[in-house]
């Protein structure tokens, strides 16, 4: 090779920046990304009926958990203050739905120690679920499967929570004497006095799940109730014991042994508790879990990536520029001059890829970095609740979007070299990058399996880089592309697109070397 890489790179950069249409295309890509975000007129809680009036939203919000994420914190809590270290123990005798049938798979009844009755406060709980056995959960996102899997569904079942400093340990037992540890939660900064007691919750379910809807069926997602019964309830604090259920004991610091009831997250008709002959019966609805937008009945939070919907507009612009950056060489016969100046054809293509990737990355970064805060401000002003995400996720969202655009533009250069016809190259890229997303995530025509498959093997997998809402196994929801859940992890999805771009570049170099210019 006669020339180094830098002069070639410089030559390609000069070509790029001196064609006004290409620079305009890049600016347009950034403007489209921002402009489309500013078109968003979503308002939370609104609805439209076919042919009927459009009802404006009243605004949405959700409590924020200790980890900074939006949570659902709605259940019925029968509580008593627990001062200092101590424990709460009870024998769970039944967990059932309102009509006495099996509760929802993720209906919960058990013991909980929580900082306060304020929604979103830190907690740790051991529970029996309707269909997933005994579990220990804490701080909304952590979920530990109980040890006694075989007998986990059986009632009666003994449960215990022990507090020692910031650590809360959950135990279960079949007989009340042989205890098995489930797990330990460390809740940093737990105050000296916390609330301990029994709870019941039952998430809303789709009607098809056979759940019982208490509020009409027209909504589609029915609110459900679960009732949990406890006997042999005891609360130990500082070594002293009180049998609170009988109302005679004096747990802890000598407070009256009366349990208080609290509907955390607002009272729903049907919720409450009864205390009679040593049995405490708690009826509750809702869930203690991370807020999942796709779950039925949870607070309607807006994922942050909704502000980046303009990526699709920017994508088309950068694909056109990427393709033309290569095909213009054929159109104007410039390629012969280029290849006379730089006989290394792979070098020329590499320089083109570097130039287009850098320019697109900068344009995409600018577009996404403006679109996200501007779009979020607009959405908030319309009463929407943006699901909070960490700084690292925000960085991933913005740089990932820029990288998606950059790699798509490189794919454009490579396909431009392979096909040599601009129209054909643009069409192939749009059909492979945008159309699978359209089919899988928009059309709702494909079965979920086929939609997942499309978003795994086509370059459209790269849109996974914009997913910010995690999938939680302990929350029943429809985690499908239509609801914004991609089958691949964010970076794995982007890697699929990179793989296609790399493959196309290699094929382009092979063809460029074989063909006449």
Partner 1 sequence: MSTGRLTTGCLITGVLHAEWTKLRTVSATRWLLFGVAWLTAAAGALADVAARCPVSGCGLDPGRVSLTGTYLGQAVVAIFAVVAIGGEYSSGMIRTTLAAVPRRAAVLAAKAATVGAAVLLAGAAAVLASWLAGRLILPGRGFTAADGYASLSLTDGAMLRAVAGTALYLVLVALLSLGIATAVREPAAAIGIVLALLYVVPIIGAVVGSPGWHRHLEQVAPMTAGLAIQDTTNLGAAPIGPWAGIGVLAGWAGAGLLAGAIALIRRDA
- Contact positions toward partner 1, by CB under 8 A? 21, 36-37, 39-43, 46-48, 50-51, 54, 56-57, 306, 309-310, 312-313, 316-317, 319-320, 323-324, 327, 331, 421-427, 430-431, 434-435, 437-439, 442-443, 445-447, 450
List phi, psi (to 5°) of 204. -65, 145
Closest contact distance (angstroms) between CB of 129 and partner 1 is 28
Closest contact distance (angstroms) between CB of 50 and partner 1 is 5
Closest contact distance (angstroms) between CB of 320 and partner 1 is 4
Closest contact distance (angstroms) between CB of 7 and partner 1 is 28
Distance CA 84, CA 186 (A): 15
Nearer to partner 1, 47 or 246 (CB): 47
Q: Token pair of 221, please?
A: 């997602």
Nearer to partner 1, 229 or 302 (CB): 302
Show Cβ contacts of residue 315 under 8 Å, excluding neighbours closer than 6 positions.
Answer: 29, 404, 405, 408, 433, 434
Nearer to partner 1, 42 or 147 (CB): 42
Closest contact distance (angstroms) between CB of 41 and partner 1 is 5
Nearer to partner 1, 48 or 150 (CB): 48
Nearer to partner 1, 186 or 431 (CB): 431
- Contact between residue 302 and residue 42 where contact means Cβ atoms under 8 Å apart: yes
Distance CA 145, CA 135 (A): 5
Closest contact distance (angstroms) between CB of 323 and partner 1 is 5
Closest contact distance (angstroms) between CB of 494 and partner 1 is 19
Nearer to partner 1, 341 or 450 (CB): 450
Distance CA 419, CA 508 (A): 9
Residue in this structure with the two tokens 């997250």, named with its chain if needed: 265
Task: Write the burial class of residue 150 (CB in 10 Å: 0-12 exposed, 13-18 middle, 19+ buried).
Answer: exposed
Q: Under the phi-then-psi rule, with left for phi > 0, alpha for psi from -120 to 50, and beta for the rest, what region is 189?
A: left
Residue 258 CB: number of other CB atoms within 10 A? 9
User: Which long-range contacts does 241-249 make (Cβ < 8 Å, 24+ apart)?
Assistant: 244/80, 245/275, 245/278, 245/279, 245/280, 246/278, 247/275
Distance CA 179, CA 506 (A): 62
Nearer to partner 1, 41 or 277 (CB): 41
Distance CA 516, CA 511 (A): 9
């Amino acid at each position: 090779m006669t020339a180094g890489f830098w002069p070639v790179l410089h030559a390609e950069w000069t070509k790029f920046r001196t064609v006004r249409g290409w620079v305009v295309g890049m600016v347009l890509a950034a403007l489209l990304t921002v402009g489309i975000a500013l078109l968003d007129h979503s308002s939370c809680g609104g609805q439209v009926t076919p042919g009927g009036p459009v009802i404006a939203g009243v605004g949405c919000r959700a409590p924020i958990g200790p980890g900074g994420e939006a949570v659902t914190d709605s259940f019925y809590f029968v509580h008593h203050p627990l001062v200092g270290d101590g424990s709460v123990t009870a024998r769970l005798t039944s967990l059932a739905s309102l009509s006495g049938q099996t509760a929802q798979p993720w209906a919960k009844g058990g013991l909980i120690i929580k900082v306060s009755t304020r929604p979103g406060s830190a907690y740790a709980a051991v529970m029996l679920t309707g269909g997933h056995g005994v579990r220990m959960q804490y701080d909304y996102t952590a979920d530990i499967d109980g040890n006694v899997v075989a007998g986990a569904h059986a009632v009666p079942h003994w449960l215990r929570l022990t507090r020692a400093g910031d650590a809360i340990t959950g135990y279960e037992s079949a007989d009340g004497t042989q205890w098995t540890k489930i797990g330990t939660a460390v809740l940093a900064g737990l105050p000296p006095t916390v609330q301990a007691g029994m709870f019941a919750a039952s998430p809303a379910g789709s009607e098809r799940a056979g759940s019982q809807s208490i509020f009409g069926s027209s909504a589609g997602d029915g609110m459900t109730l679960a009732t949990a019964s406890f006997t042999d309830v005891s609360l130990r604090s500082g070594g002293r014991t009180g049998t609170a259920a009988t109302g005679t004991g004096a747990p802890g610091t000598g407070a009256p042994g009366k349990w208080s009831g609290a509907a955390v997250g607002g009272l729903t008709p049907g919720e409450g508790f009864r205390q009679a002959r040593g049995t405490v019966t708690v009826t509750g609805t809702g869930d203690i879990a991370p807020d999942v937008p796709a779950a039925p009945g949870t607070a309607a939070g807006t994922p942050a990536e909704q502000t980046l919907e303009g990526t699709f507009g920017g994508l088309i612009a950068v694909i056109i520029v990427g393709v033309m950056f290569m095909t213009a060489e054929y159109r104007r016969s410039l390629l012969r001059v280029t290849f006379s100046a730089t006989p290394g054809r792979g070098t020329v293509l590499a320089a083109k890829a570097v130039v287009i990737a850098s320019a697109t990355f900068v344009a995409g970064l600018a577009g996404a970095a403006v679109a996200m805060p501007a779009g979020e401000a607009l959405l908030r002003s319309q009463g929407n609740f943006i699901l909070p995400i960490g700084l690292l996720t925000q960085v991933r969202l913005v740089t990932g979007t820029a990288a998606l655009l950059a790699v798509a533009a490189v794919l454009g250069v490579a396909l431009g070299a392979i096909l040599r016809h601009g129209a054909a190259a643009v069409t192939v890229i749009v059909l492979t990058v945008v159309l699978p997303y359209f089919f899988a995530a928009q059309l709702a025509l494909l079965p979920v399996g086929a939609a997942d498959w499309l978003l795994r093997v086509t370059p459209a997998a790269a849109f996974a880089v914009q997913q910010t809402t995690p999938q939680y196994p302990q929350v029943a929801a429809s985690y499908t592309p239509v609801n914004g859940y991609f089958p691949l992890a964010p970076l794995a999805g982007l890697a699929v697109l990179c793989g296609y771009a790399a493959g196309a570049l290699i094929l382009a170099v092979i063809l460029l070397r074989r063909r006449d210019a």
